């Protein structure tokens, strides 16, 4: 009796896992599959999955018909890398100060850093748009590089502060006894042992910038358009060429999926924990 | 979950001279703080001021006649705003319940000894990681009324007789957008709850088993009470995030049909950047902001240890 119940339970778990895998993976599998199928195969019911329907033409066609995509990828790379570098450069010392120095109003600053991650973008978008218009920054890369700091800098500070707070203080005390200034301690002792969390925070910031759509939609017109905008425009313009639409989507997703798989452990541990703890 | 709240561990030998200490603070914290003030504090204050004006952009010049609370008064009698508010409430409630329940079930499943294979967790990350725009484009294709795979599958298996135009009816369209957003948002909450689950000491379950508790009782009297704070955090975070939904609506429906998928956030965007009514748009944005801010304050209180117990 007990054994039969156990077997039933195991079957239940296996069935649930099958459902889970299907729900999580099927849409993405369909994205990839559609991107390598010919139009004719896609619009027949059911979709024609015979070997002769497969093609790589969608990908070559996307790059051919969307000169925008090349520029979009270039813009996205420049903007994402620059904003990430700035976020780390400004965020790491700030996080260290918040973790280790005796700062007045530290609670208020931390609260602001935390709340900043939850701001609805629209509330800052309106004044920022007006300011950018006045300064002639609409449709420039530098504009997005700076604006993306509004969400990336808080995240970087938050994640790194959590890490610095958890470090044992022994190393710092030893460095100080050897006569190191706090700047030297930070640069020569703390930063070298913080490379893994720095790297994880950087990748996270990069992904956020790479995927961002709302500000890019408002703040760019042509020259500074990023990948999400190109994809969105492409999907609007060629919305009946399904295979190419999916190929374009696949191109924009690929780097992120690869980064996620490489970094799964830091994402699973670091960020989930960071959202639960103060 | 944690034994420490927002506290600081100051090294044993703090910097002694106050003036030097200020110098150090300035160097470490000053640049980041300046950027945050310019990019967050100033725009928030500016948007509050804008919401009290009839700001409009004409020929590159910003005109800002002051109108006190007219924009907020207009909001109360605006039919479009009522519709957006109703859609937002419906969207937020269904999304939060859906995401937290599914997230909890997924976390429990992946915490099961038979599901420890790390491949499952990578799979869980995929919907979360996929770019919002690519995701929206993908679902537009899945929901396509003539050639979409959803209609093919449903007609093929005999669930429906003929293709459904998923974005033809306001209420159906709103629910389809919700379905996609729940699919996309569940993984992060599942990861969060999974992390909380793994912090529960196994010894508690062993003790319960010795005392003769069955699986349901262990869940009801150990897991749920210990997950209470994490679930509350999940509810708050997901509510805040649901108020920000934009990309999906912009690409799937553009707010249609008949404004059936216009939520507050989308309305604020449209009023501001399509109708160029900056003052009114700022007023709507501020309503969303204030709501998010109150939720964020609750969130911060929850993160402090023992907040709910």
- Could you list the pLDDT tens digit for every one of the 309 residues in chain B? 333 333 334 444 444 455 567 788 889 999 999 999 999 999 999 999 999 999 887 766 778 889 999 999 999 999 999 999 999 999 999 999 999 999 999 999 999 988 888 889 888 888 988 889 999 999 999 999 989 999 999 998 989 999 999 999 999 999 999 999 999 999 999 999 998 998 899 999 999 999 999 888 999 999 999 999 899 999 999 999 999 999 999 999 999 899 999 999 999 999 999 998 999 999 999 999 999 999 988 888 887 765 444
Please name which of A151, A144, A250 lies closest in space to residue A204, comparing C-alpha atoms. Answer: A151
Give the whole-angstrom CA distance, residue B108 versus residue B215.
Answer: 12
Alpha helices (H) along B8-66: 18-36, 42-50
What does the radius of gyration of chain A's CA atoms come to, in whole angstroms? 24
**ipTM at complex level:** 0.89
The answer on pLDDT for A189 being more than 70 is yes
Minimum CA–CA partner of B251 in chain A: A232
Two tokens, residue B126: 């995929």
Across the interface, of B25, B123, B303, the residue whose CB is closest to A97 is B25
DSSP, collapsed to helix, strand or coil, labels residue B31 as: helix
Domains and CATH numbers, chain A: 2-53 (no CATH), 66-237 (1.10.3720.10)
Domain boundaries, chain B: 16-47, 78-303
Tell me the per-residue pLDDT of A10-38, one tens digit each, with 9 for 90 and over. Answer: 899 999 999 999 999 999 999 999 999 99
pLDDT value at position A113?
A: 87
Predicted pLDDT of residue B262: 97
| B147 touching A (Cβ < 8 Å) | yes
For residue A165, what are its two tokens? 């707070």
Check: CB of residue B124 under 8 Å from CB of residue A25: no
Place of tokens 């996309």: B184
| pLDDT beyond 60 at A94 | yes
Distance from CA of A247 to the nearest CA of B (A): 10
- The residue ranking higher by pLDDT, B237 or A1, is B237
B13 has a chain A CB within 8 A of its CB: yes
In whole angstroms, give the CA distance from residue B229 to residue B232: 5
Q: Where are the alpha helices (H) located in chain B, listed in sequence order? A: 18-36, 42-50, 70-77, 79-110, 118-129, 132-142, 149-156, 170-198, 202-210, 215-218, 224-242, 247-252, 264-269, 278-303
Average the pLDDT over A256-268 and give the result. Answer: 78
Is a pLDDT exceeding 50 seen at residue A251? yes
Token digits for B224? 């749920």
Write out the CATH class of domain B78-303.
mainly alpha
Which among B76, B48, B88, B81 is positioned nearest to B64, based on CA atoms? B48
B60-97: string of b/e by CB count within 10 Å (b at 16+)? eeeeeeebeebbbeebeebeebebbbebbeebbebbbe
* A104 pLDDT more than 90: no
Angstrom CA distances, B206 to A180, B73, B99, B214, stand at 51, 60, 30, 11
pLDDT in the model for residue B129: 85
Show residues of chain B in contact with A103, CB under 8 Å: 25, 29
Cβ–Cβ gap B2/A20 under 8 Å:
no
Checking if the pLDDT of A240 tops 80, the result is no
- Cβ proximity of B308 and B232 under 8 Å: yes
CB atoms within 10 A of CB A77: 16
Q: Is B173 in contact with B166 (CB distance < 8 Å)?
A: yes
Secondary structure letter of residue B213 according to DSSP? -
Distance CA B69, CA B74 (A): 9
Are A43 and B146 in contact (CB < 8 Å)?
yes
Residue of B nearest to A11 (CA): B114
At residue B62, φ and ψ (nearest 5 deg) are -95, 120
Which residue, chain included where needed, has tokens 């700001």?
B55
Using an 8 Å CB-CB cutoff, list chain B residues near A214.
246-247, 269
Q: Which two tokens stand for residue A110?
A: 């931390």
């Amino acid at each position: 009796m007990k054994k039969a119940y156990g077997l039933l339970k195991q079957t239940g778990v296996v069935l649930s896992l099958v459902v889970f895998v299907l729900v999580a993976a099927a849409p993405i599998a369909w994205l990839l599959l559609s991107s390598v199928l010919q139009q004719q195969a896609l619009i027949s019911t059911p979709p024609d999955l015979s070997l002769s329907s497969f093609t790589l033409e969608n990908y070559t066609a996307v790059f051919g018909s969307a000169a925008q995509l090349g520029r979009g990828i270039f813009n996205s790379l420049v903007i994402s890398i620059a904003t990430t570098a700035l976020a780390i450069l400004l965020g790491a010392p700030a996080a260290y100060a918040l973790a280790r120095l005796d700062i007045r109003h530290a609670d208020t600053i931390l609260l602001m850093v935390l709340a900043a991650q939850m701001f609805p973008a629209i509330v800052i978008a309106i004044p920022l748009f007006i300011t950018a218009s006045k300064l002639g920054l609409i449709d420039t890369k530098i504009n997005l590089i700076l604006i993306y700091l509004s969400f990336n800098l808080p995240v970087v500070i938050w994640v790194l502060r959590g890490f610095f707070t958890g470090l044992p203080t022994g190393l710092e005390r030893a460095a100080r006894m050897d006569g190191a200034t706090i700047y030297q301690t930070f640069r020569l002792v703390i930063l070298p042992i913080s490379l893994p969390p720095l790297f994880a925070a950087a990748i996270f910031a990069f992904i956020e910038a790479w995927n961002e759509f709302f500000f890019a939609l408002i703040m760019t017109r042509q020259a500074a358009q990023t990948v999400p905008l190109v994809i969105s425009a492409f999907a609007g313009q060629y919305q009946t060429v399904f295979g190419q639409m999916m190929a374009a989507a696949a191109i924009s997703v690929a780097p992120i999926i690869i980064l996620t798989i490489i970094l799964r452990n830091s994402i699973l541990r670091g960020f989930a924990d960071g959202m639960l703890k103060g | 979950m944690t034994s420490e709240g927002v506290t600081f561990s100051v090294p044993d030998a703090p910097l002694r001279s106050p003036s030097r200490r200020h110098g150090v603070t300035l160097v470490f914290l000053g640049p980041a703080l300046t950027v945050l003030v310019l990019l967050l504090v100033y725009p928030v204050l500016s948007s509050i001021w804008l919401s009290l004006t009839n700001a409009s952009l004409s020929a590159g010049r910003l005109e800002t006649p002051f109108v006190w609370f007219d924009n907020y008064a207009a909001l109360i009698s605006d039919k479009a705003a009522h519709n957006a508010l109703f859609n937002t409430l419906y969207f937020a409630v269904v999304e939060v319940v859906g995401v937290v329940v599914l997230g909890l079930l997924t976390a429990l499943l992946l915490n099961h000894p038979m599901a420890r294979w790390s491949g499952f967790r990578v799979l869980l990350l995929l919907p979360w990681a996929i770019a919002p725009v690519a995701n929206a484009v993908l679902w537009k294709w899945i929901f396509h009324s003539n050639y979409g795979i959803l209609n093919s599958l449903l007609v093929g298996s005999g669930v429906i007789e003929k293709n459904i135009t998923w974005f033809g009816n306001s209420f159906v369209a709103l629910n389809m957008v919700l379905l996609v957003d729940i699919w996309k948002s569940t993984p992060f909450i599942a990861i969060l709850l999974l992390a909380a689950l793994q912090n529960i000491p196994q010894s508690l379950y062993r003790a319960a088993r010795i005392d003769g508790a069955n699986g349901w009782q262990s869940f009801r009297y150990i897991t749920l009470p210990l997950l209470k704070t994490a679930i509350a955090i999940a509810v708050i975070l997901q509510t805040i995030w649901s108020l920000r939904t934009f990309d999906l609506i912009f690409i799937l429906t553009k707010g249609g049909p008949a404004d059936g998928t216009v939520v507050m956030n989308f309305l604020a965007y449209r009023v501001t950047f399509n109708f160029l009514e900056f003052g009114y748009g700022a007023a709507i944005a501020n309503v969303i902001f204030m709501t998010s801010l109150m939720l964020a304050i609750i969130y911060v209180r929850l993160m402090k240890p023992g907040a709910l117990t």
